[in-house]
Amino acid sequence: MTGPISGSILAAFGDPGYASLIDFMPDPASLAALIGSAQFGLANFTGAPYDPASVVAVADNRNTNVAAWALKGIDARLTWDQALGEGRSLGLEIAGSWIDSEQRITAELPATQLAGTIFNPAKLRVRSTARFVTGPLTANLALNYTGGLEDRRFDEIRRLAPTATVDIGVSYTLVRGEGRDPGLEISLTAQNLFNEQPREIGQLGPYDTPYDSTNYSPIGRFIAFGIRRHW
């Protein structure tokens, strides 16, 4: 289930496909009934006292069943490993996905693009990793790429640029355990090394997050030290 108006509410006013969802002549009694049935009552963001006479339209964007949902995509992963001799090796990996998806709420409404819009998966995601091993030391370097997104909730479509973050990690085996023999390893990792911040988006209300929580993490640079013991 999802809201039938996934893009700009203002743009929906001029689209005949949404005509059945918009009441351009709401009466005070129906407005009072809507406010009374709302879980938290009326949320007035205008800064002025509520006046039923100033309400020009009511849009019904309550969740409804999706009539059709189409999804297609590609997942790919390539790896390369090379022994360098004397306990050393180099490994490279690149993995990514491309998806395209859309939904149609009813036969009267147009198809709505999902992939590549905020709060939906980005069309393109790629993670590339390099790993170097020399004796007890292992070092990793990873690049994470998230494609650009569109915010269609407003009359003018807003575009968010692609993002890239870097992760690094180093681990050292102090005691190498074979089979059931005890082992001990220490590690140091840094995620989002350059502290890339989420792309800011507009807010439709005071309770909206100012970023896309589906595609971005609010946690910036994260550094962790670990000790791993197994037996």
Burial of 76 (0-12, 13-18, 19+ CB in 10 A): exposed
Residue 76, token pair as written in the block: 């790919």
Centroid of chain to Cα 110: 24
Higher pLDDT, 16 or 88: 88
- Tens digits of residue pLDDT in 34-60: 888 887 778 887 778 888 888 888 888
Please give the Cα distance from 76 to 93 (Å, whole number): 11
Region 81-90: mean pLDDT is: 93
DSSP string, 167-178: EEEEEEEEE---
Most confident of the ranges 35-39, 109-113, 203-207, 224-228: 224-228
SS3 at position 123: coil
Residue 220, token pair as written in the block: 């910036």
> What is the structure's pLDDT at 110?
73
Sign of the CA dihedral with 145 first, then 148, 152, and 153 last:
positive
What's the distance, Cα to Cα, between the start and end of the chain in Å? Answer: 48
- Using alpha carbons, list the distances in angstroms from residue 99 to 14, 114, 163: 30, 10, 17
> What is the structure's pLDDT at 8?
63
> What is the structure's pLDDT at 121?
93
The structural domains of the chain, with segments of one domain joined by +, span 1-65, 66-230
